[in-house]
Structure 1
Amino acid sequence: MTNIIEWDKKYSVDVPELDECQKQLMDMFNTLIEMKTSKADAKDVANLITEINEFSKIFFSKEEKLLGSKGYPDLDIHSKAHRRFIKKALGLRREIAEDVDNLAIEDIVELQNWLITHFESTDIMFIPFLRLHRYVDECENKK
């Protein structure tokens, strides 16, 4: 099956809860691609896109809350990237509101690729920041 993606350690942000959210989101995209290529029921496809959108909001909110609690300096830029993803996902949902055949596999893959690129190039930026804060917190707790 083409375009199926597997979670890899290189996507890890070193926060187990967020890593698990990444895995779940990737699984949802894999299911969506499978559904689209197997001509699944239009209602099921639409429901999964809605689920992806809702889950993304929860996932991104957790990530942003964590980053905000640590004072991550690029949180605003990071949050805007999340909003762009959600807007694109909503666009997919609207696109198929009238006819699921309007949804092209390329549209799904484009959104999926955006997500992978975000994990690899944007999320990776906050990992050292969080590690430093974790170290400082551990040092303060030892006092």
Structure 2
Amino acid sequence: MKKIVWNGKKYDIGDDALNRQNQRVADIINLCLHNPELLEDADYRANVIGELMEYSADYLSYKENLLKDIGCIALMNHSKLHWRYLEELSSLASRIEKQESEFALELMEFLSYWWSKQILIEEMKCRGCIQAGEKVTLDQNCNIGSQEESAFSPHTSVEHAIYRSIIDKISK
């Protein structure tokens, strides 16, 4: 993975708060890429995981609520992707004491996947809806699929429970 040079136009998904959070992920990736020796320190690894947990608490809930408010046709699919992100992050947090090089590799694979697949592909599919402030038809932008409004899985409370349990693990 190469350094991410933030480009506001290229990475704009239509919401300033979401853009700031994505830039935060880019900054974490860049810091880890260019200072891999930092990942040799267990405290630093815990801080990175803590930053990613904070990101998930802020970003994922906010984004899902925003998509729900505008009637996004792919909300359930995004929720599932977010859930997988949280599961992976939880798994990484449980292995924070693992051998440094192994953990660093797993963390960078996780971050690379999240950036390249989730943010640059899946998030960009939402740009039209978010910028318009309303859902667009499937053929206009989204390309993810449709779902019923009632299919929304309100896992904000589950997300919070996972977040708390991981923060507790990190704090010990």
Range of TM-score over shorter length: 0.7 to 0.9
1:23-69 deviation per Cα after TM superposition (whole angstroms, max 9, x unaligned)? 01211222234453345521122222122122223111111111111
Tell me what 1:122 maps to: 122
Gaps of 5+ in 1: 135-143
How far, CA to CA, are the matches of 1:121 and 1:39 in structure 2? 27
How far, CA to CA, are the matches of 1:132 and 1:82 in structure 2? 23
Tell me what 1:84 maps to: 84
How far, CA to CA, are the matches of 1:40 and 1:97 in structure 2? 10
Higher helix share: 1
RMSD: 2.2
Tell me what 1:110 maps to: 109
Q: How many pairs does the alignment contain?
A: 132
Tell me what 2:149 maps to: none
Identical pairs, percent: 23
TM-score, normalising length: structure 1: 0.77
Which stretches of structure 1, 4 residues or more, deviate above 6 A after TM superposition? none
1:70-101 deviation per Cα after TM superposition (whole angstroms, max 9, x unaligned)? 11111010011011112112221212235545
Distance 1:88 1:6, change over 3 A: farther
How far, CA to CA, are the matches of 2:36 and 2:49 in structure 1? 11
**Structure 2 letter corresponding to 1:5:** I
Whether the 8 Å CA contact 1:95–1:102 is kept in 2: the answer is: no
Distance 1:35 1:95, change over 3 A: farther
Gaps of 5+ in 2: 135-172
Distance 1:43 1:15, change over 3 A: same
